[in-house]
Structure 1
Amino acid sequence: MEHASAIVKSWYKLADDLTELLEETHSCDVIIKVGEENDFEIFKAHSLILRARSEYFRAALSTTWSRKNSNGFYIIKLYNMNISYDIFGEVLFYIYGGYVFAPGLEVTEKLQLMIAADVLMLDHLINFLEEDLICNEKDYVNRYTSEVLLTVVQILGCKELLEICEKKLLCRPRNLFYSKEFLSIPRYYLIGFLERNILGLNEITIWDRVLNWGIHNTPECKSLNTKNILDWTMEQVDALKANINEFLPLIRFFKMDPKRFIEKVGPYKQIFEEDLYDEIIKYHEKFIEFEPTYEVLSLRLNSVILNESCLKPIASWIDLPEDNRSSWYDKYVKTNTKINYEEIPYDFHILYRRRGSKLTETEWCKYVYNQGPTLTVIKVKDDDYRCSVTIFGGYKSISWSEENQENRVGGDGFVFSSYTMSEYINLRWIEKHLALNMHLGSGNHSHDFRLGKEIYVKSSAYTIDTIEVFKVIKKEVL
């Protein structure tokens, strides 16, 4: 231990000695101009240290790139790189000293420093800052997730922090799509979102936000009134069309409600390829023997709880033959992450979602009654110390309705539970559901959420975080 301590002290002494060189400008042979061409600040440094510490400066100071001027200095211009003077000062200190004093920096400064480190190819600094943000800035990351994501999505080395941000935003996708950062996310990243089969937003909302992204990122259209596209010039329409064209096949226009499609999408007919728009209209009008040439993507699952991996076992239990139910009475089924979404034989239309606030029977009746078969999913609080699982739910083969409740008709179906929905799901068949409102299952195997903010499972109470109810509809065979 004493030997290790001595080594650490030697490293600190080395760092101090090297950082002192920053003050000895008479021995510098590099001038770095940071800012813009007409507004920059000068930093002096030593080419030997820059070459040793940064791939970027090693290339910039190579004989093929740079020559000394008449005063014996290499000149490096860091113009228009989104690096402020103060941030570059921190970068230079790290290059010489090998560390940054993270507690002395605001989180916004750490994010700016990550961007500068990425530009200057300082991977070790990126890794240090990523770990610091994950371990020491959890509250900020939770509160300003979209802002953090916009930074880390541009940095290849920040995979862990990016995954944390994505996980949080997929539980609250509106927080991203309606944030100011959404309009600045890179094109390739937006495409990745649109390729998801589960997103937690309805398709009209997705279309509206993608349209806004397109307008914001098309210089000819940025200041135009989106409500009056008929007043735009053909040049402006064509510019938006070119910018947004690759997104359109990824939006489920074929699965939109026809009236909503005409209302929300119809005014922008000009930015569609004519054959695509015509095929959507024909599909909605159910032309006999009409087969679209464009791919008709399945309805996106509008859920912030479920994931693709759990849909296959849930769908297979909806179709479970009656003579198999006894042998499949209580099963732990491994979920499969590599499924073909098109093979799922059902669409799940969101009827109701409630987060946080108390769930009432009046709301339940208003949104869920008389909808036919339904799937109910309940996520409990992640920090609930009582949790052995975090997700409960159930499928009910007949409508929730006042008539069925009065006649004590509950239908059949199943209840399920899972810890993460990404490994195993426990399913239990129920021959007859309890004929009670806001109650899934039967006997000891039931999920009772009549109290609004809690769900009771086998007499244990869990705090409800989110509840979703889906109308289960057999997919049309085209």
Structure 2
Amino acid sequence: MEQNFNLIYQTSFENNSFLELQKYCTNLISKEPNKLFNSMNFSSISENILLTIIQSDNLQISEIQIWDHVLKWGIAQNPDLPSDFTDYSQDDFNNLKNTLQRFIPFIKFHDLTSKEFLEKVFPYEKIFPEDFYKELLKDFLSLLDPNSKRSDKSKSNITKEIKRTVDSKIITHQHVELILKWIDRLEITDKLISLCEFRLLFRASRDRHSRDKFHQICNNQSHTVTIVKVKDSNEILGGYNPLEWESSESYGDLVATKDSFIFSFDCDKIENHILSRVKDEKKAIYNSQWYGPSFGIGDLEIWAHNGSSYCRRSKQSCYEKPIRKTENDFTIEECEVFKIVRN
């Protein structure tokens, strides 16, 4: 079993009839992680499973060993890399960086000794986000004893695991993590510090492409994220509203908050995103029975009074910057609204 532990563990996730096997393997990994890390097929483990494993607080293995295994896994995903990292080209480092970018925020590098950092992390400087690496280097250079570690006061906050799946036809868990960091005003390389869930409230393809249906389901719901897939494009648009949605009896009411923002993603590359925070706090959210979820004055309007949807800029714009390259109306392929539930 030990020689094929990786295969057995992955198989346990493929069918609900293997729940007992999955439970056994998960418990075994926490107590004896080397059964997985030393298995013959470790390099073929899926990215999501490995991410889940390294985030376990009960993993009985040192942080430098976790980094060693993650690095080994990343190198194995790029078989064309030279055997000696000193022969890596810039493209080689970029390929490894792309492979490991989701793992880096979950490695507790501050738990390493300065000697471990120098030998195991420093040679791979080019795979880290620049600002993140500079902070690490600065902290480790301040240590005089090569076997010492940073003080607990200076360590980063430890992430509490958020729900690892999202019920969406538009976004992935990676989008969720980034949006939650924006809500908490964290840097991309920071770790999330709260346990939460993206709970689906409204889906246009299920509930109907209708502002009336949106209000019926989402009114009186606060802390929501609206996600829109633009038809015939790679665009994903969205916005965060910490306030409750309402159907104003008048033509519409602008309501104030300093915490809302709008954003856009490229479907193919999550790193191609735009974040635009509210700048005119008194006009952050537009509540109207004649509009779907709307932000500012034309900054992002879904199912406006004439049925159109658009992002437009003017002197009245209430958010920092445009999230689209065009002001043309767009057609909605799918729209989802999620409620953020903090546990």
TM-score interval, normalised by the smaller of the two chains: 0.3 to 0.5
Q: Greater Rg, structure 1 or structure 2?
A: 1
Give the TM-score of the pair, scaled to structure 2.
0.40
Give the TM-score of the pair, scaled to structure 1.
0.29
